[in-house]
Amino acid sequence: MANDFYTADKAHLLKALKMATWRNADAKLEAAGVQAIDEYIAGRLFEPIGLTAPLATGASYLPKFKTTQYLPGTWDEYLYFQTAMNLYPAMGVCATTEATPNIHDISLRTGQTPTNQGRHWERENPVSAESERIDILGMMLNSLHIECSEASQIAVQHNKWGCSFTKNTATDDITAATLSDRPFRWEDFTFPTFTYNSETIEATIIGWAYDVVNTLHFTGLDTTKRYSIGKYIPLTYVVTTLETTPFGHNIYELIRTDLEDYLTDVDLVIKCARNTTTDYVQWTHDKVYCQPFIITAEKAPGRVEKYLLVLSQLSTGSLVIEAKDQYNNNYYENP
């Protein structure tokens, strides 16, 4: 047998069709139960496992170690941003109208139940018998981050999941699959609405990021020493960050006014579109709050003022995400 090292050239990732149970009854994922996902860049897995601690010394000076607790795992995936598929588990609610194109209306969850997501991850050694194929189950999305800008013009996403169960499927290879859509790029982004006090904010937007941070709770440790229950607890942060170069004064009014003294709502619409009518994702924010930023002017050649506007979604407003694409509800809520 050749002593060939693991390399990333054949690593690939597939997503599970929405499973009937959160941990898929601890069964491996089969080829018929997985599908393509946004293009894989990198993955990092900390498997759910027992944690040891030194509890006492023995006959020697070396301590005795004992397993003291069992932890959920974490799965980090870095993907290109091609579809709204991961926005569904991040937000929690999706209603799909199957048509040409398919229309997905995504909004914030109102219940604690997870959406039964799963991943099949393969890292293939050149010696096939040594390949690693892992199914990741019992998943809940802790945080989602998507970004794109003039400086980094291909949209990417980083999703951080908690997971309660993994299954090493040994030699069960599942053929890699990819989506046909190209990743969204900066030229696909427009900002049809960004207003305060009935005025458009006077700034050029040169970067955008979108973050959802959920609160997870794992419980119900079972005889497999893994958690059998996962819940989304009611505390979710939704933040949009805009990198801007101002050309007017009203951007500064956002940080000179307390939230309670806003004259009108700050509203924001973001649209990234490969086709403006049939292939896009659009975020419609009603009522966001702009966090304070530091005003800076530096007298140096070629300098312009740039600011990151951190806009928190308010509970008194609303956020609706609409996506149109070629993928039916089997790729989303799969009822």
pLDDT digits over 83-136, tens only? 999 999 999 999 999 999 999 999 999 999 999 999 999 987 776 667 789 999
Whether pLDDT at 327 is above 90: yes
SS3 string, the chain, reads CCCCCCCCCCCEEEEECCCCCCCHHHCCCCHHHEECCCCEEEEEEECCEEEEEEEEECCCCCEEEEEEEEECEEEEEEEECCCCCCHHHHHEEEEEECCCCEEEEEEECCCCCCCCEEEEEEECCCCHHHCEEEEEEEEEEEEEEEEEECCCCECEEEEEEEEEEEEECCCCCCCCCCCCCCCCEHHHEEEEEEEECCEECCEEEEEEEEEEEEEEEEEEECCCCCEEEEEEEEEEEEEEEEEEEECCCHHHHCCCCCHHHCCCCEEEEEEEEEECCCEEEEEEEEEEEECCCCCCCCCCCCCCCCEEEEEEEEEEEEEEEEEEECCCHHHCCCC
CA distance 268 to 210: 12
Question: Is it the case that residue 310 has pLDDT exceeding 90?
Answer: yes
- Over residues 56-79, the mean pLDDT reads 89
Tens digits of residue pLDDT in 191-210: 999 999 889 999 999 999 99
Both tokens assigned to 155: 């949209």
Mean pLDDT within 239-253: 95
**Cis before 72? omega within 30:** no
Residue 274 pLDDT > 80: yes
What mean pLDDT do residues 36-58 have? 92
AA letter at 225: K
Average pLDDT for 57-70: 85
Burial classification of residue 210, based on how many CB atoms lie within 10 Å of its CB (0-12 exposed, 13-18 middle, 19 or more buried): buried
Q: How confident is the model at residue 170 (pLDDT cuts 50, 70, 90)?
A: low
Averaged pLDDT of the chain:
93
pLDDT of the residue at 128? 61
Q: What is the pTM of this model?
A: 0.94
Q: Name the more confident of 129 and 264.
A: 264
Domain boundaries, the chain: 12-50+66-331
In the block, residue with structure tokens 């458009």: 200
Q: Which of 6-15, 32-41, 177-186 has the lowest mean pLDDT?
A: 6-15
* pLDDT mean over 175-187: 95
- Residue 26 has phi, psi (to 5 degrees) of 60, 25
Average pLDDT of the residues in 6-23: 89
Position 59 scores a pLDDT of 75
pLDDT > 70 in the chain, percent: 96
Tell me: pLDDT of 74 over 80.
Answer: yes
The answer to whether the CB of 94 falls within 8 A of the CB of 104 is yes
The pLDDT of 73-81, averaged and rounded, is: 98
What's the pLDDT band for 6 if we cut at 50, 70, 90?
Answer: confident
What is the per-residue pLDDT for 293? 94
Question: What was the pLDDT predicted at 12?
Answer: 92
